Amino acid sequence: MPTTSEQLRPWLDRVLANHESWAAEFGQFTPHDSLALKESEVEAALDELASRLRDNYPFFHPRYAGQMLKPPHPVAIAGYAAAMLINPNNHALDGGPATAKMEREVVRQLAEMFGYGEHLGHLTSSGTIANLEALHVAREMHPGLGVAYSADSHYTHSRMCKLIGVAGHAVPVDGTGKIDLDALESLLRKGKIGTVVVTAGTTGLGVVDPVHEVVALRSRYDFRIHVDAAYGGFFSLIAGTEGIDPVPWQAIRHCDSIVVDPHKHGLQPYGCGAVLFADPSVGRFYVHDSPYTYFTSDELHLGEISLECSRPGAAAAALWLTLKLLPLRSDGLGAVLAAGRRAAVRWHELIGQSDRLVPYQRPELDIVTYFPAESTLSAIDAASGRMLREGMTDKDDPIYLSTLRAGADAFGMRGIAAVADVAGARVLRSVLMKPESEGYLGRLHERVVALAG
Mean pLDDT over all residues of the chain?
95
Between CA 191 and CA 198, with CA 193 as vertex, the angle to 5 degrees is 140
pLDDT confidence tier of residue 300, bands split at 50, 70 and 90: low
Position 392 pLDDT exceeds 90: yes
> How large a percentage of the chain has pLDDT more than 90?
91
**Least confident segment among 3-7, 249-253, 299-303:** 299-303
Residue 432 has pLDDT above 90, yes or no: yes
Residue 157: its pLDDT value, please? 97
**How confident is the model at residue 296, as a pLDDT?**
45
Domain boundaries in the chain? 83-291+299-325, 333-452
pLDDT, residue 92, reads 78
- pLDDT band at 293; cut points 50, 70, 90: very low
Residue 230 has pLDDT above 60, yes or no: yes
Mean pLDDT confidence for 70-92: 95
Q: Is 295's pLDDT higher than 80?
A: no
Q: If you average pLDDT over residues 21-31, what whole number do you get? A: 96
Contacts of 409 (CB under 8 A, 6+ apart): none
pLDDT surpasses 50 at 292: no
Across the strands, what pairs with 227? Answer: 198, 258
Look at residue 368 in the predicted model and tell me its pLDDT: 98
pLDDT at 289: 53
State residue 298's pLDDT score.
Answer: 47
Residue 408 has pLDDT above 50, yes or no: yes
Strand-by-strand arrangement of the 257-260 sheet: 120-124, 273-277, 257-260, 224-228, 193-199, 146-150, 168-171
**Higher pLDDT, residue 304 or 357:** 357
Orientation of helix 156-164 relative to helix 127-141, angle to 10°:
50
**Spatial distance between the Cα atoms of 345 and 337, rounded to a whole number of angstroms:** 13
pLDDT tens digit sequence for 95-139: 889 999 999 999 999 999 999 999 999 999 999 999 999 999 999
Cα pseudo-dihedral 441, 431, 230, 330, rounded to 10:
10
Measured between its terminal Cα atoms, the distance across the chain in Å is: 35
Confidence tier at 397 by pLDDT (50, 70, 90): very high
In this prediction, residue 172 carries a pLDDT of 98
Give the mean model confidence (pLDDT) for residues 279-300: 63
Confidence of residue 90 (pLDDT cuts 50, 70, 90): confident
Whether the pLDDT of residue 93 is over 90: the answer is: no
Q: Which of 312, 285, 275 is nearest to 111 (CA)?
A: 275
| Amino acid at position 23, single letter | A
CATH number corresponding to 333-452: 3.90.1150.170
- Residue 95: what pLDDT? 84
Give residue-wise pLDDT tens across range 302-356.
667 788 888 999 999 999 999 999 999 999 999 999 999 999 999 999 999 999 9
Residues 290-300 as b/e (b if ≥16 CB within 10 A, e otherwise) read: eeebbeeeeee
User: Has domain 83-291+299-325 been given CATH number 3.40.640.10?
Assistant: yes
